[in-house]
Structure 1
Amino acid sequence: MPIQIRAAAVQAEPAWLHLPAGVAQTIGFIEDAGAGGAQLVAFPEVFLPGYPWWLWLNSVDWGSEFQSRYLANSMTRDGAEMAAIADAAQWARVRVVLGFAERAGDEIYMAQAMIGPDGQVRVARKQRPTPLEREVFADGVAPSVVYHTELGRVGVLGGADHLCPDRRVDLWREQVHVAAFSGFTVYHEVGDDVVVAVNSTVAEQYAREGGVVVIAPTALVPMTGWSVVDARSPHHLLLSGGGGVARILGPDGRDLAPPLPPGKSGLLFADLVLDESGNRWTDMRVAG
């Protein structure tokens, strides 16, 4: 029998540097996804506790302040916070793909948790963060990023890895791909429309090249109405809020459901039917 799946992608602003609030927010989205009939819900990269956007600033003092706070609000893979999220997934009967900053001693890793509807947790670490990200995150071990699940073969990658051919999943092995984006800030005079186009283009290309469904959650950056100016030139804007738009795409790179408005927090749902042979998505229906 064909496998029928309702998938959900998170588009939301993280509870920046506040792990307890972030865990509660994550559980809320899992419960909402389950109530909406989803069997799979995907979160942005390092949704807990949010992406370290201070790296894009030129103040060393800011970096030292945030680094300790970031470590303190990062999550361990076997702690009480992950256990609470796994319990929520089991209660809602939803498979969860969760991007989080994993604390292991004094090291932090960019990690993706695959949490089954039975509460089982498997974690993969990003092998090589970008040079700037290495100011915060350590290198991980090259993981297998394709999981064999009751929903088919599900692959997972973080945003920048989609631009590195040597780190991309063997496309033929996947049936569903989660492209987890940490969001995109607007830098200097770059417009938000350009920022939105970055993750959209990457996700569309991946879907077409692999012939797979792509679920692309994204974070809103990182505080509503947020902006940072250059202290040496107060009229010079360095960064401002943005984020991108969550997408669920078919193998042709087209939307299976109309995206949420930019800047709006919520879940994007789409219904999918997997061919019995497990090779292609043969029927795709837009979900309301």
Structure 2
Amino acid sequence: MGIEHPKYKVAVVQAAPAWLDLDGSVDKCIALIEEAAAAGARLIAFPEVFIPGYPWHIWMDSPAWCIGRGFTQRYFDNSLSYGSAQAERIAAAVAEAGLTAVLGLSERDGGSLYIAQWLIGPGGETIARRRKLRPTHAERTVYGEGDGSDLAVHDVAGLGRVGALCCWEHLQPLSKYAMYAQNEQVHVASWPSFSLYDPFAPALGAEVNNAASRVYAVEGSCFVLAPCATVSTAMIDELCDRPDKHALLHAGGGFAAIYGPDGSLVAPQLAPDQEGLLIAEIDLAAIGVAKNAADPAGHYSRPDVTRLLFNKTPARRVEHFALPVDGSAADEPAVTIATA
């Protein structure tokens, strides 16, 4: 008997968040999880920092304006902490729905925020938590960084090998290669919205960034689920406090997509201002056919010419140590590093 290839339905979110509203964002996430389960999906993928929405204010004016308008404090207060009551609600909803979720969130950890993705299994268990390795441009005024352990692909029962990256991590060739080399089969490419600085910044627009998702599918010979948020008129009303700011951010901007390992679109796309779920059935058998033509991390590679150095060690911001207390000689080691 040959290999059995999973075949199942996936759901990709295109929706506006309950912006800067943690509880409202959780309510919306749960409603979308329930909708995906009702449609028969076994995996749902959410946009980048869907909780509590993308911090568009950092692109609209100065840091002083963001602080003075209260956006900075509100964003911190409405970001999600693991172990919180809100996080427990989401995990319980995933378990009730019986599917796997890849949630995009602004993670609050102590006094810092991180662009994070939370992989939750069908029992509500945590499969993985990851952070974006390097926030992009103005995002660095809000978020901290991840590390090499965040470039990971996970065996998920019945779904295959699943991985995730955020936004412009899909422009990092070495990071992508680290994912391909782990035999990724289903990839979640989470994006915010494609209406910032439109049309005078093509690099931030839908055509360029959907191309990045599509190329990832072909290079990795994997399915790519590319959720994308929309910007609501309510968000525009709050952010655009001067007429000229309406040129900086527009309502809409949703361009969610699902790509096959040959780069084909496998689900119809929604209108840019429409909220909903993209539903498609994916068959992992298609991956073997795609890799037969070109497997950049396998038979199509040339490690004798170029290869990747990959440090997967989690970052340790604090090393705990203890001074010797047994009267040992001064020329003996002065500290003992604790590994816990």
Q: Deviation string for 1:26-69 (max 9, x for gaps)?
A: 00000110010000000001000001001112233331121110
Aligned residue among 29, 35, 40 for 1:32: 35
Matched ranges for 1:1-288 at <5 A: 1-64=4-67, 65-121=70-126, 122-142=128-148, 143-150=150-157, 151-168=159-176, 169-172=178-181, 173-187=183-197, 189-190=199-200, 195-223=205-233, 226=236, 231=242, 234=244, 237-275=247-285, 279=288
Contact 1:175–1:279, Cα closer than 8 Å, also in 2: no
CA distance in 1, matches of 2:92, 2:111: 27
**What 5-or-longer segments of structure 2 have no aligned partner?**
292-340
Structure 1 ranges of 4+ moved more than 3 A? 188-192, 222-225, 227-231, 233-236, 278-282
Q: Post-superposition shift, 1:264?
A: 0.5
CA 1:229/1:210 → structure 2, altered by over 3 Å: closer, same or farther? same
TM-score by length of 2: 0.76
1:209 positional shift: 1.2
Contact 1:19 1:49 in 2 (8 A): yes
Tell me the amino acid that sits aligned with residue 52 of structure 1: P
Count how many residue pairs are aligned between Structure 1 and Structure 2: 279
Q: CA–CA distance in 1 between the matches of 2:240 and 2:88?
A: 40
| Structure 1 CA distance for aligned equivalents of residues 290 and 122 of structure 2 | 22
User: Which residue type is aligned with residue 270 of structure 2?
Assistant: L
Q: Distance in 2 between matches of 1:37 and 1:263?
A: 25
CA RMSD in angstroms, aligned pairs only: 2.4
Q: Look up the SS of the partner of 1:170 in the other structure.
A: helix
| Other structure's SS at 1:68 match | helix
Paired AA for residue 281 in structure 2: D
Aligned partners of 1:164, 1:242: CA distance in 2, in Å?
Answer: 27
Higher relative contact order (CA 8 A, sep 6+): 1
**Does the 8 Å CA contact 1:101/1:108 hold for their aligned counterparts?**
yes
Provide the TM-score with structure 1 as the length reference.
Answer: 0.89
Instruction: After TM superposition, give the deviation of residue 128 of structure 1 in Å.
Output: 1.3
Distance 1:162 1:29, change over 3 A: same
What's the offset of the Cα at 1:279?
4.4
Point out the more displaced range, 206-215 or 32-41.
206-215
- Residues 230, 238 of structure 1: 8 Å contact kept: no
After superposition, the C-alpha distances for 1:220-248 in whole angstroms (9 at most, x for unaligned) are 025458266684x7597333223231111
> In the TM superposition, what is the alpha-carbon distance from 1:10 to its structure 2 partner?
0.1
Comparing 196-205 and 104-113, the one that deviates more: 196-205
Shift of 1:191: 8.9
SS in 1 for 2:26: helix
Q: 1: distance between equivalents of 2:270 and 2:25?
A: 21
Distance 1:225 1:52 in 2: 11
1:258/1:113 CA distance change after superposition, 3 Å = same
Question: In structure 2, the residue corresponding to 1:270 is in which secondary structure?
Answer: strand
Identity of aligned residues (%): 41
